[in-house]
């Protein structure tokens, strides 16, 4: 098994910035410490190339990100100060989801230990997202593997607005997002399937809706590849989320999504997406559980 990480590409952030940059390295360390994963399971991906990025983003946007020409409002919307390391990290993180998809097509599943940058639009970024890794990956797999149908299953607590926008009117990529109705983004886009949940929604209600959403997604899109955004931020003690899932509920979610895909032999590339728990170790534990569950469900392929 190979999982892809980009935690060695750390971008410089001011003190007290609310993005938990340290969580990615700690996730990899936690997986190693569990004894269920070894060093050889982890690999640094290639950076996504200009050609790969511009299948999902407009060339002018890529150029302006790469050369640091974004204006103040665009930088504020992204939420990271511009630096060359920010650009490199964004390319590597997209490259990690892309590499995970290639791996999944031969071995059933793989994961990016970061990624899930679903608020990036074709020509702009927001909410800590510069390039849309799922969109870049779906387009690459269509181009290089000839896939006709890809599903993005987005279980981050925030709507996958950038992904929905990039694939609006495109029947080849089905976008499903299940999220908090009152969570960011406040003006939502239209996915192929959106399920909006009230503040405080707990495990059972969430899973009831998810099961129906998954059935509809798989029935309507019959995907040859799924990209699963396994956000840890629907967690009850998340600083940014408005839902109230427990760790056990999130593990049931992962088992439901990954089990449904495995039962239909749909390969899956997993991205971690958000996770901002008051105690960041909780987010790390939830992400680690996702990967352990994936391995259980698919076997050590």
Closest approach, Cβ 243 to Zn ion, in A, equals: 11
Closest approach, Cβ 159 to Zn ion, in A, equals: 9
Two structure tokens written together for 139: 């387009």
Report whether 234 contacts 199 (CB < 8 A): no
Closest approach, Cβ 216 to Zn ion, in A, equals: 22
Lay out the sheet containing 193-197: strands in order across.
Answer: 42-43, 3-4, 109-112, 268-271, 225-229, 150-154, 173-180, 193-197
Q: Collapse the DSSP code of 271 into the 3-class scheme (helix H, G, I; strand E, B; otherwise coil) and give the result.
A: strand
Residue with tokens 């080849």: 172
For Zn ion, give the closer residue by CB, 95 or 274. 274
Single residue of 160, 223, 267, 274 touching Zn ion by CB under 5 A: 274
CA atoms of 219 and 270, how far apart (whole Å): 20
Out of 57, 119, 158, 287, the active site residue is 119
For Zn ion, give the closer residue by CB, 36 or 196. 196
Closest approach, Cβ 172 to Zn ion, in A, equals: 25
> Among the candidate windows 62-70, 71-79, 95-103, 230-238, which touches Zn ion by CB under 5 A?
230-238
**Which residues, 147 to 206, sit near Zn ion by CB under 5 A?**
156, 158
Closest approach, Cβ 183 to Zn ion, in A, equals: 8
Closest by CA to 111, choosing from 127, 129, 93, 85, is 93
Active site residue 16: no
Report whether 192 contacts 241 (CB < 8 A): no
Please work out the total of residues on this chain that contact Zn ion, with binding judged by CB under 5 A. Answer: 5
Closest approach, Cβ 231 to Zn ion, in A, equals: 5
Q: Does 233 bind Zn ion (CB under 5 A)?
A: yes
Omega before 185 cis (within 30°)?
Answer: yes
Closest by CA to 191, choosing from 151, 161, 171, is 161
For Zn ion, give the closer residue by CB, 223 or 231. 231
Report whether 279 contacts 237 (CB < 8 A): yes
Residue with tokens 């998809």: 101
> Among the candidate windows 16-24, 29-37, 130-138, 227-235, which touches Zn ion by CB under 5 A?
227-235
> Among the candidate windows 90-98, 131-139, 272-280, 285-293, which touches Zn ion by CB under 5 A?
272-280
Report whether 157 contacts 175 (CB < 8 A): no
For Zn ion, give the closer residue by CB, 162 or 274. 274
For Zn ion, give the closer residue by CB, 103 or 154. 154
* In the complex, residue closest to Zn ion by CB: 274
Q: Collapse the DSSP code of 280 into the 3-class scheme (helix H, G, I; strand E, B; otherwise coil) and give the result.
A: helix
Catalytic residues: 119
Enumerate binding residues for Zn ion (CB under 5 A).
156, 158, 231, 233, 274
């Amino acid at each position: 098994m190979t999982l892809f990480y980009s935690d060695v590409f750390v971008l410089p952030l001011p003190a007290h910035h609310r993005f938990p940059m340290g969580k990615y390295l700690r996730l990899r360390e936690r997986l190693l410490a569990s004894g269920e994963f070894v060093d050889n399971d982890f690999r640094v991906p290639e950076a996504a190339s200009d050609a790969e990025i511009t299948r999902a983003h407009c060339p002018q946007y890529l150029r302006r990100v790469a050369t640091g020409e974004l204006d103040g409002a665009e930088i504020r919307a992204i939420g990271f100060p511009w630096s060359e390391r920010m650009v490199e990290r964004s390319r590597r993180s997209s490259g990690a989801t892309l590499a995970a998809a290639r791996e999944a097509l031969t071995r059933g599943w793989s994961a990016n230990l970061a990624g899930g940058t679903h608020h990036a639009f074709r020509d702009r970024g927001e909410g800590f997202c510069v390039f849309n890794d799922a969109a870049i990956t779906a387009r690459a797999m269509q181009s290089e593997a000839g896939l006709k149908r890809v599903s993005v299953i987005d279980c981050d607590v925030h709507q996958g607005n950038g992904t929905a926008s990039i694939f609006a009117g495109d029947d080849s990529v089905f976008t499903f997002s299940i999220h908090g109705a009152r969570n960011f983004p406040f003006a939502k886009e239209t996915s192929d399937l959106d399920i909006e949940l009230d503040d405080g929604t707990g495990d059972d209600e969430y899973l009831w809706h998810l099961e129906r959403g998954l059935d509809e997604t798989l029935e309507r899109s019959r995907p040859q590849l799924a990209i699963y955004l396994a956000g840890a931020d629907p967690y009850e003690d998340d600083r940014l989320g408005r839902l109230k899932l427990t760790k056990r509920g999130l593990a049931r979610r992962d088992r439901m999504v990954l089990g449904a895909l495995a039962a239909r032999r749909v390969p899956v590339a997993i991205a971690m997406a958000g996770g901002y728990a008051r105690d960041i170790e909780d987010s790390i534990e939830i992400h680690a559980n996702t990967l352990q569950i994936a391995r259980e469900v698919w076997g050590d392929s």
